[in-house]
Structure 1
Amino acid sequence: MRVITTRVAGLPGLVLRCVRVGATASGFGLVFVGSAVAARLSRSTRGRGLHDGERWVRLLTRLGPSYIKIGQLLSTRRDLLPEEVTSALGRLTDAARPPSRRRIERAVRHAYAHRPWPFREFNWEPVACGSIATVHEAVTLDGRRVAVKVRRPGIDRVMHRDFTLTALAMRLLGRLPRLRRMPFALMHEQVGGAILQQLDFVAEAESLAALRRNLAEFDNLRIPAPLPELCTSETVVMEYIDDLMRFEPADLDADTRRCVVRAVLAAVYEMLFIDGLVHCDMHPGNLYVDRSAGLVVLDAGFVVRLPETVRRSFADFFINMAMGDGWMCAHIVIESAAQIAEDCDLEGFRAGLRTLVEQTSGSRSGDFDLARFAGHLFDLQRRFGLYPAPEFAFPLLSLLVIEGMIKNFDADVDFQAEAVPVLRRRNVPRGTASVLKG
């Protein structure tokens, strides 16, 4: 992963940002509390209190792009959050409020200030609008129809300030007695740095090209080809793919939904277990279906290169979890831990993880809850004093984002069984050779 140097946010701007975030969150917090009290008094919960999705959208929109990204990820978890909340949050994936045309045009003109203007036509009205960029249809001078992703003006300054604020929050969180040994600073550097990486449009163009190469054998998956000669640090220019449908189960019949779900899982597992280049943001704003029910991935901003050791360990853990081998899962976690406390109870951890794995092995998507499993695993690590490498957050995030969508499409798919064909094509993991020969 290319490292973006984080600029030290100026103190006045940082203080103003802190005051704005605090005031906005406090104000909406009071409104939520008042609404919840009113709902309790009227014995109604529909559209009130924490179930008011429209209010959540307004809160995250006012807080800014870093928080909108959180809302985008939460919108995929219809299995964990009320439908009225996730439906409202779903609009944040590609329908955020765009900047004015004047600001967009100024940003695009600035991006090409030192090279010839490459477009014959440019539609200044966005066809999609996310938290970090707007997307526009254009035609190049040689007649190619393209999509142009344009970074929001001033977004880098806001996100760097949010990064600094969350770093301070992580530092304070790490001082709590029960969390003192957790490597929050390192986790924030890795995960927060990956979120900032979305500002690097040169890296995104490279990620699009790399994903196309890695997934070229998937006939039912399309990724737009970038045009490197037209890309800049503020724009990504790629081929335009039209005639797309939203990634919604209501638009597909049952057989097509099953095929689509398995295609999504196959592509994600290929990234996780074979290539190590992982798309962590496959929400409905980035994932579409074409008229032949093929998958289309339109964005590569949040793509992370896993260290080889993490890729191998995660794959080993996943297949042993699928086989119900909790002892081997515990061995992998211990072996790959970034830090082990001096008073760590390894036997207690092994026993706890064996029980957890046995309870979840072979579950269908409707029964298996990755968020709950990850929470239990995190709690076991915290209680017994094992702390994982921060990079393990990325494969988990990739799966957490798609899990909610998949449950909505097909509750009968077996997450773990679908991974086995992909895992068979990698190096045989420790302790599984005899099984994979079968």
Structure 2
Amino acid sequence: MNEITGRLARLPGLVLRFGRVAAVVCGYAVLIGGSALGARLRRGRDGRGLRDGDRWVRMLTRLGPSYIKIGQLLSTRRDLLPAEVTTPLARLTDAASPPSRRRIERAVRRAYRDRPWPFREFGWQPVACGSIATVHEAVTWDGRRVAVKVRRPGIERVMRQDFALAASAMTLLGVLPRLRRMPFKLMHAQVGGAILRQLDFAAEAASLAALRANLAGFDNVRIPEPLPELCTAETVVMEYVTDLTRFEPGELDADTRRAVVRAVLAAIYEMLFVDGLVHCDLHPGNLYFDHRADLVMLDAGFVIRLPDPVRRSFADFFINMALGDGWMCAQVVIESAAHVADDCDLEGFRAGLGELVAETSGAKSGEFDLARFAGRLFDLQRRFGLFPAPEFAFPLLSLLVIEGMIKVFDSDVDFQAEAVPILRRRNTPRAAESTVER
């Protein structure tokens, strides 16, 4: 009864949120659609494409953090999208408009209302603004220079409303005949729940500490140390890292670019295939160089702990893809599927995935497109009646976010070959241990 009452109490807010989202989308659809008329003649002469990119930024910003995350992901895909789209969207990574100083101060004071004020100095003007939080420089009473991540006031209510609206959309999609067998509710619970967990600052502080421990052996990767005694439910306090520069090729020579790419991939593969604690949000607002040109990973809000069976299955799939063994890739997908339809065509799936793996095995960065590969893989699963565990979305998302940036640094890197040493060091390929006859 209490649950029903609670849902009814939240209904007016959901209706208002839906109305706002619909109004913003429809309004900008008219603007963007109208400006697209005749764009082929005008583009390149009057900057129309760039202005359209700016409209996308304004629309996503007005829609809120859940939608800004989509824009951040798209901004990394400079290999797939034109510069007039990705350049404006890149501003979404760290240049959101901050709340007023009054609201920030009220939020910070409220976060420390039950304990002594820990800061000798506090910079109320943010040094960085994200969709979920602002970041401030501060000095503790004992002289430590720290960064304080402060959750935006009112952000939890908006994100939970968007979560509920997405759940309704998933339910409607599940009614469509072609999509009826897709486990949309489970997918929404897993992926949407992970996005909501970005509001859990205690979990983020713990993730920072865990990532530091897991990647301690990487001399060229740096993660700020959290200060748990200063963190609250609304703030994450960590060491302040100075002299950061954006993760861009800039004037780096070819050898340095190659070294950077391999360092990033090694760290990501260690997370994916060994530790199972995966940073899914390494866009340019969370990945930097320090003054020594070492990599600095910030903001552990979107960090996912993969269940060990999922981690092993993903590692099995990846190493067999690198080895060009499409049959074994198919076997891994079949055995790890969340649901297999009664009329599933396993042989058809094996044949289709075998062809896909043969096409992509050994491809260089400039030739391999993870987004298209994943799309074709999911299409094969849908057509032949296999539905993957929703947790598989997270390692793919982590790679998708970084893939576009990696290609800008080095288009010749072999994503699959770079993973093999880590996979072989910590995982036994399924091809060697499977007893299933082909």
How many equivalent pairs are there? 429
CA spacing shift, 1:95–1:44, aligned 2, 3 Å: closer
Counterpart for residue 88 of structure 2: 88
**1:148-172 deviations in whole A, cap 9, x for unaligned?**
0000000000000000001101111
Residue of structure 2 in register with 1:172 after alignment = 172
Within 5 A, what are the aligned runs for 1:287-326? 287-326=287-326
* Aligned-pair CA distance for 1:14: 0.7
Q: Larger deviation: 315-324 or 245-254?
A: 245-254
Question: What TM-score comes out, normalization by structure 2 length?
Answer: 0.95
1:106-145 mapped onto 2 (5 Å cutoff):
106-145=106-145
> 4+ residue runs of structure 1 moved beyond 4 angstroms?
6-9, 40-47
Aligned residue for 2:250, secondary structure, equals helix
Do 1:9 and 1:164's aligned partners in 2 also have CA atoms closer than 8 Å?
A: no
Q: Distance in 1 between matches of 2:50 and 2:384?
A: 34
**1:346 is the counterpart of 2:346:** yes
User: In the alignment, residue 376 of structure 1 is paired with which amino acid?
Assistant: R
Matched, 1:105 2:140: no
Counterpart residue number, 1:3: none
Contact kept, 8 Å, 2:148 with 2:237, in 1: the verdict is yes
Tell me what 1:37 maps to.
Answer: 37
The DSSP-based 3-state class of the residue aligned with 1:52 is helix
3-state secondary structure, aligned to 2:147: strand
- Alignment of 1:376 with 2:376, yes or no, is yes
CA, structure 1 residues 388+157, in 2 after alignment: closer, same or farther (shift >3 Å)?
same
Alignment correspondent of 1:254: 254
Partners of 1:105 and 1:120 lie apart in 2 by: 15
Instruction: Write the mapping of 1:33-432 to structure 2, written as runs, cut at 5 A.
Output: 33-40=33-40, 42=42, 47-48=47-48, 52-432=52-432
- Cα RMSD after superposing both structures: 1.7
- Equivalent AA in structure 1 for residue 303 of structure 2: V
Letter in 2 for 1:365: S
Report SS of the residue matched to 1:19: helix
What TM-score comes out, normalization by structure 1 length? 0.95
Gaps of 5+ in 1: 1-5
SS in 1 for 2:14: helix
1:50 Cα deviation after fit: 9.2
| Cα contact 1:39–1:45 (8 A) shared by 2 | no
8 Å Cα contact 1:7/1:160 also seen in 2: no
Residues 273 and 422 of structure 2 are in contact (CA less than 8 Å); yes or no, is this contact kept in structure 1? yes
Once the two structures are overlaid, the 10-residue window that deviates more, 47-56 or 407-416, is: 47-56
Deviation at 1:427, TM superposition (A): 2.9
Tell me the distance in 1 between the aligned counterparts of 2:192 and 2:50.
Answer: 27
Question: What are structure 2's unaligned runs of at least 5 residues?
Answer: 1-5
In 2, Cα distance between equivalents of 1:154 and 1:133: 11
Three-state SS of the structure 1 residue aligned to 2:138 is: strand
Give the Å deviation of 1:252: 2.1
Cα distance in 2 between the residues matched to 1:234 and 1:411: 41
Q: Is the 8 A contact 2:223 2:298 kept in 1?
A: yes
Q: Secondary structure at the match of 1:149?
A: strand
Q: Does structure 2 conserve the Cα–Cα contact (< 8 Å) formed by 1:32 and 1:49? A: no
Aligned-partner SS, 1:121 = strand
> 2-side partners of 1:144 and 1:44: how far apart?
50
